[in-house]
Amino acid sequence: MTVHADELASLQSLLPSGTNVAYMIGQPFSATEEITNDIISQQNTELLLTPASTQKLLTALTAKIYLTDKYTFNTSLHGNIKQQSISDTEFNFTGDPTFTRDDLRGMLKQLKAKGITRINGDISLNQSRFNGYNWGNGQVWNDQAVCYATQASALVINGNCVLGNLKRSADLEKATIYIPDYEPLSLTSQVDIMTKEQQQAQFCDLEVTRHPDNNYTLFGCITPSKRNLPLSFAISEPTTYFSAVLKAELSHAKIKFTGDIVENQKTVKSAIVLNHKSVPLAAIITEMMKESDNLIADILFKTIGAEYFQQAGNYRNGAKAMLEILADKGISLNSSLIADGSGLSRHNLISAETMFSVLTYTIKHDDALQLLAAMPIAGVDGTLQYRRGLLTKQLTGNIVAKTGSLKGLSNLVGIVKTQKNHRVPFVLMVSGYNPLPNDADQPRKASALTQYSAAFFNMLVTEY
């Protein structure tokens, strides 16, 4: 089997000079065999590299072990009911990443069904479940306005994200923004529409600035197109946003409220009036893994810290809890740096060797964990559905892996099903990838990374 190790190493010549490649390929095994810890090919396995979203495999594994598949998030309403009114009203948020405006409407409908027509005094929004930063240390600051990097706060509604689009037709001088009228956000466009040549000459691009009270300004420039540009805005102030949504929904439910909406970080002590449960954790983890959902991952990370240490969750105790929980299963993260659960932080560092130990544990215990089924499948679903280089006939459906991509790096961790009906566990981490600009006179061709990925996995599929 090791005869092909040199051939795999030689594929690095497909990548630009200066690219780092680390990989570890395990002994092939059949459906009737158990995975072993044997390695058939490896390179740079001890290098500490940025995992990006392959970090979610660690988060998912830790959550499955400690929280278990049946764990649910609760969003509860507390208060004192007297006749047709409620006082000392308090929403308690625990970071449910699936909670929606429809769920809030359902809770208020239940409240109305109890005969409540009025809320006396203020409404408190309790977020004591988490403390500290809503973003992990080492996240890129200018990602904070877009939804893949939205805040992992205890208060979440509609993924703390608002969708819209930008009209940029050639007949306009300035691009125009659309978001639904019911969204309590303010968006201003100062975006010029110009040709690609003008854009390049002015070193201009589309940018966004965030202001207080969920106000945003888009500025810069964009090339014209008949197609509107989809946009997603991460909610800057979740409490302000929720407050506006809550007032609108109270009005819709015909529940009278004239007080203020205030924040609270103290432990809730009043009686529960209503409780909304999320779907079980198994379904949430599948969504996180398939779509590489960063919000879910960081909320799980903080929740693990909160449950493990029985205190407000944050990125620090989430990291410590993960280290101890996995160490108890024989997986050492002592050489790694764990900053968050999503992999968005550039502070995260992990080796291919450590990641492989996480993978092999996951495979060995999959009957109980059911985690492999939550991972994307090449050419079929999730973040691998349209992954370039993996869409050939012999690769489609035959790679089950967690992706991880940030600027300059591309990682995959998972299993390849070969033509000999073997299963090959692998970790592949490509970093320092800086593609050369395409020669304008040359016909468009696959990127170096696409060519490398295709060659790497085609070799695994055909040779093992």
Residue 436, pLDDT > 50, answer yes
Do both 287 and 403 map to the same domain? yes
Residue 7: CATH number of its domain: 3.40.710.10
For the segment 351-395, what is each residue's pLDDT rounded down to a tens digit?
A: 999 999 999 999 999 999 999 999 999 999 999 999 999 999 999
Q: Are residues 302 and 396 in the same domain?
A: yes
Cα 457 to Cα 14, 146, 426, distances in angstroms: 14, 33, 10
Mean pLDDT confidence for 45-65: 98
pTM of this prediction? 0.95
Last residue of a domain, one of 278, 308, 334: 278
Answer yes or no: do 255 and 319 share one domain: no
pLDDT interval class at 443 (50, 70, 90): low
154: confidence class by pLDDT, cuts 50, 70, 90: very high
Q: ∠ CA 451-457-458 to the nearest 5 degrees?
A: 85
With CA atoms as reference, report the closest residue to 259 among 85, 120, 118.
Answer: 120
* pLDDT at position 431 over 90: yes
The whole-number pLDDT of residue 31 equals 82
Is residue 315 one of the residues assigned to a domain? Answer: yes
Please report whether residue 192 resides in a domain: yes
Structural contact between residues 359 and 100, judged by C-beta atoms closer than 8 angstroms = no
Give the active site residues: 53, 56, 292
How many domains in the chain? 3
Confidence of residue 269 (pLDDT cuts 50, 70, 90): confident
Mean pLDDT of 269-273: 89
Range of the structural domain that residue 315 is part of:
2-70+282-463
The answer to whether position 141 is within a domain reads: no
Please compute the mean of the pLDDT values over residues 30-52 and round it to a whole number.
93
In a domain, residue 137? The reply is no
The whole-angstrom separation of Cα 423 and Cα 396 is 15
Between strands 215-222 and 186-193, the pairing is parallel
pLDDT of 3 reads: 42
292: left (phi over 0), alpha (psi -120 to 50) or beta: left
Residues 323 and 175 in one domain: no
pLDDT attached to residue 409? 96
Tens of pLDDT, residues 297-337: 999 999 999 999 999 999 999 999 999 999 999 999 999 99
